[in-house]
Amino acid sequence: MASNKRFHEIIRFGVSGVAGFIVDAGLIAIFTQAFGLGPIVAQLIGFTAAVTVTWLINRHWTFAEHASDKWLHEWTRYVAANSIGAAVNNGVYVGLVLGLSAFSKIPVLAVAIGSIAGMGFNFLASKRLIFRALN
């Protein structure tokens, strides 16, 4: 039964990640195209909104039974953990593209592997560090 629960958590976590991607990519498109912001500033806005959306989904759906009453503390820890997860994602991507010629020729494979690594880090951090009994 525990493995079934873990499977459902992973699926829900993945759904929240897809929602976060849509928010992030959508806001980047809006802020760069409609408002003329640079891509770095747009990414800061997009990431902040996306990480907040994924936190809300994970807080109320994926890990609802472990959501803390100290929501601001929980959110800041979630943002910090997901920022590290983003660094893992990009670090794996850069390492593969610079380290192995096959990935520099087909970088989308490196994107996929980096994304999986980042998601794995974020899932474990969320499950073990963020959404646990903090009350």
- Per-residue pLDDT at 132: 85
By CB neighbour count within 10 A (0-12 exposed, 13-18 middle, 19+ buried), where does 43 fall?
middle
Phi, psi (deg, nearest 5) at residue 72: -70, -40
pLDDT for 26-58, tens place per residue?
999 999 999 999 999 999 999 999 999 999 999
Assess contact for 91 and 110: CB atoms under 8 A: no
CB pairs under 8 A, 24+ apart, for 70-74? 70/134, 70/135, 73/134, 74/130, 74/131, 74/134
- Give residue-wise pLDDT tens across range 56-96: 999 999 999 999 999 999 999 999 999 999 999 999 999 99
**DSSP state letter for 60:** I
Q: Domain limits of the chain?
A: 2-130
